Amino acid sequence: MRLALVLITLILLCGCGAEPEPAAPAADATAADPPDSSIATAESERIEARRSDEYELRIEAAEIDPAHQPLLRAVSLYSAQVRDEFLGQVEAAKAEGFEFDLPWQLELKLSRVVNGERVVAVQASGFVFQGGAHGLPLEASFVYLVDRKQMMAIDDWFADDAVWEAISARAVSLLQSQLAPMAGEHDGDSEENLEAQSRDWLLEGAGPDPQNFHLYLPQLGQDQKIEALQISFAPYQVAPYAAGSPEVSIGADLLIDHLKPEFRDYYTD
């Protein structure tokens, strides 16, 4: 069940102007710069908002340099797929006579979180709510090499499969420390069984498979080179929903020997 939910998750996130005083000279009344309407317009143009009795939708696009066309296409395609799938589900539910006690919701925000000279990255986060206790998270990441005009999935960096064992071992160790406080929060089972279940869950979700690490973002140093990869795990992937989206940082020292030769210059030695 948790893998299905992970897959759903994966396939499937003014200034304030004071009024001029009447007695102020005309020169003073114009001293303050007016709000930049071009910025406000640009921000509003990046937001798609829809509302009906059946659903509420809000998608905020990232601010991306138009020169980065491969990145723009990838992010736009993802956003359109999420939106169209959600609206299709709404229409299917209406056709079946479903009664919307609460409007279904889609919230998705795309943010440029890395803006380096050679590496740019966009993060998508949000949720889809279709009833129940909570919504289904939406998470995605997009990494782009400016000079190569190339999108980079995490496995595009590496020359050998041995890197996945190395990443997995480091990630499992870090996650065990992060998630340890949650181990005693469940009732109705022995401590030994809970520890075994939690470890199996963790080893499955953070095992040596590149798909387990596809949600990643580069972390740049002052020299604009990658110091580490920040890897996120979707809810239910390595732990219960209450754990959220755990993150680990995998340093370049662990990765450098596994990189393809053409990408070594992007990383800190």
Place 197 in a pLDDT band, splitting at 50, 70 and 90: confident
Helix (H, G, I), strand (E, B) or coil at 22: coil
Task: Report residue 223 as tokens.
Answer: 């020299």
CATH architecture of 2-10+44-152: 2-Layer Sandwich (3.30)
- For residue 4, the model assigns a pLDDT of 39
- Tell whether the model's pLDDT for residue 66 goes beyond 90: yes
**More confident position, 112 or 44:** 112
CA distance 151 to 109: 20
- What is the full DSSP assignment across 181-218? GGTTS--SS-HHHHHHHHHHHHHHHTSS-GGGG-SEEE
Distance CA 168, CA 65 (A): 34
Query: Given this structure, which CATH class describes domain 155-266?
Result: alpha beta
What are the domain boundaries of the chain? 2-10+44-152, 155-266
Q: Are 61 and 13 in contact (CB under 8 A)?
A: no
List the beta bridge partners of residue 114: 121
The model carries a pTM of 0.80
What 3-state DSSP class applies to 250? Answer: strand
